[in-house]
Copies of this chain bind each other. A is one copy, B any other.
């Protein structure tokens, strides 16, 4: 009942799955402990996740806990067709393929919801949005989990208007997700995307990092680690001050646009790099976005110019006498031009996902229809699992120390 691109790619996808699984020991650890009791037996779980080798480990894990799993993609472009084929071959219903039109993407999400899921796993909020309006607004849903800041922002807006129908756990806000996934994961995969798409020397280049949240911090740190000079633009004064104290050059986008060799948007905001900035850039400048949506760079303007593909995932756009290079058409560069987060990092948020889903199954009915944080004890359990799976031992407080803490 799946609809995917090429059923013959299952073996290739299986090989990717096994590789990822072997680097997601944290997740395996959580799952193997729980799998015997089949705690998700009888539940239908619909996901709107980027289909990659790593998410395949999550979905297979959920399946092994007894659930009926339905997978649609998290983004019209980013589905890996071999992974889709593998999941289908393992009995998961998949509606996803690469390079979808908006209509196709929409259709897939509709199909996912038509299975009447009990739980939704979302990455960006598209599936949850759909489950709130129109024909799906009557579905009985226990609750949902959300991977991204973007999704959460959307739900909070809905919550403010009293429109949220069921509890949503902001997995993205777990400390083991936000700090690790965004910082270490995207930090590395952004470098990866730059190397694969443009392949230029990073040492000595001026890299303009737009936004200094967890994402921007990770990108700045890794690019600096490759020898680049970092320039940061921000709108939040505290983050700006932090970037300044971290030794980076903080300045306005206007000034930065004349100086940068490479520009990376990490803001979650729209209209960050605009026409007036691009008109000021140096010949040969490279632009990439790693924020969730492709609205950070004005790609309509840039791709409207004379354009040719210089390298895979790299478009050369001619503005007057100068050439600018756009990575992955301004879409999430580390997903499109590289392979997204490394498996070790995704395992952290997926371990959170599973523990939150189990929490929803148990407690969803009692929970208010709000955006909920991940409970501290879940967060700690995930971190401890992670340390164990990497062979790291830490101290615990002695009685005397606990006494001391209480002594005031």
Contact = CB atoms under 8 A, between A and B. Distances in A.
Contacts of A175: 238
A9 to B, nearest CB: 14
A241 B387 contact: yes
A358 interface: no
Contact of A224 (B225, B249, B284): B225
A393 B345 contact: no
B200 A295 contact: no
Contact of A184 (B201, B233, B393, B396): B201
A406 interface: yes
Contact of A199 (B242, B248, B339): B339
A392 B250 contact: yes
Contact of A393 (B241, B252, B392): B252
A32 interface: no
Interface in A231-246: 233-238, 240-242, 244-246
A395 B245 contact: no
A400 interface: yes
A227 B227 contact: no
Interface string A173-211: 001100110011101100110011001111110000000
A115 interface: no
Contact of A270 (B125, B192, B201, B400): B400
Interface residues of A, number: 93
Contact of A271 (B157, B233, B247, B404): B404
Interface stretch (A105-113, A133-141, A377-385): A377-385
Given A201-B185, A394-B252, A384 B237 contact: yes
Contact of A196 (B158, B184, B188, B196): B196
Given A184-B203, A252-B394, A380-B237, A247 B229 contact: yes
B270 A245 contact: no
A386 interface: yes
A404 B269 contact: yes
A342 interface: yes
Given A176-B241, A246-B227, A270-B404, A311 B195 contact: no
Interface stretch (A14-22, A43-51, A58-66): A14-22
A401 interface: yes
Interface in A89-129: 125
A184 B227 contact: yes
30 contacts: A15-B309, A15-B310, A23-B200, A154-B408, A157-B406, A157-B408, A158-B408, A180-B242, A180-B245, A184-B245, A185-B201, A191-B191, A202-B342, A203-B247, A221-B227, A222-B225, A227-B245, A227-B246, A237-B387, A238-B379, A240-B387, A244-B390, A244-B392, A250-B394, A251-B392, A252-B393, A252-B395, A269-B401, A269-B405, A295-B404
Interface of A: 15-16, 18-19, 22-23, 125, 153-154, 157-158, 175-176, 179-180, 183-185, 187-188, 191-192, 195-196, 199-204, 221-222, 224-229, 233-238, 240-242, 244-253, 255, 269-271, 284, 295, 309-311, 323, 338-339, 342-345, 379-380, 383-384, 386-387, 390, 392-398, 400-401, 404-406, 408
Top 5 nearest A-B pairs (CB, nearest first) are: A225-B225, A237-B383, A201-B342, A270-B404, A157-B408
